[in-house]
Amino acid sequence: MYKKENFPVEKKSDVSQICEKICFLADDLRDILWHSKFRRQYHKIMSLTLSQQRMLQMVWRMTIDDPQGVMLKELAKALFLSNSAVSVMVENLVKRGYLERVQGEDDRRKVFIRLSEIGRKHTAESESFWGDLNERFFAGIAGDKKRVFIRVLNEFQKFLIENKECRK
């Protein structure tokens, strides 16, 4: 685990400090999960990539009110990914048994994507795991600080989504 005190102190810009802190936090979280009593549950959940888990979460959220499923184009838009990238991920998750394709009831040309039984179980376990972890994390943080923290994380995520061109 990295410790900030192991590095020489120097005057850094706010942006540099924020980026450094995010990297340290990611490493510390990974280290805690790897070496904790959560290890077995974490590895089971992390049998999928974060992108695949994100897709399962999105399919789950988008099909709560419409169990027929979600169309690939809608899923791609919600994930801010191209149709072709989502198509490849969906195909992989269908082959692994997490998603299933279903023909439309009204129009057989339409194909909907929804969670399979395995996908629903995995998503429920993932929700439970991350929910428990969040509860433990936020247990000692006052409500107003929690709201500010979540608002800042949302703003940071919004920035990352809106600035995808920086990745190229």
Residue count of the chain, please give it: 168
Report the percentage of the chain scoring pLDDT > 70: 80
pTM given for the model: 0.67
Q: What pLDDT is recorded for position 12? A: 62
With a CB cutoff of 8 Å and minimum separation 6, the contacts of 33 are 39, 42
Q: What pLDDT was estimated at residue 88?
A: 95
Q: Is 114 helix (H, G, I), strand (E, B) or coil?
A: strand
In tens, the pLDDT along 76-105 reads 998 888 999 999 999 999 999 999 999 877
For residue 70, the model assigns a pLDDT of 92
Structural element, H or E, at residue 157: helix 143-162
* 122 neighbors 45 (Cβ within 8 angstroms): yes
Do 156 and 137 contact (CB within 8 A), yes or no? no
* DSSP track, 59-91: HHHHTSS-TT-EEHHHHHHHHT--HHHHHHHHH
4: Cα within 13 Å, side-chain hemisphere: 11
Structure tokens at 99: 């998603």
**CB within 8 A of 110, min separation 6: which ones?**
71, 103, 104
The per-residue pLDDT for range 11-65, each reduced to its tens digit, is: 567 767 777 888 788 788 777 766 666 666 666 666 788 788 889 999 999 998 8
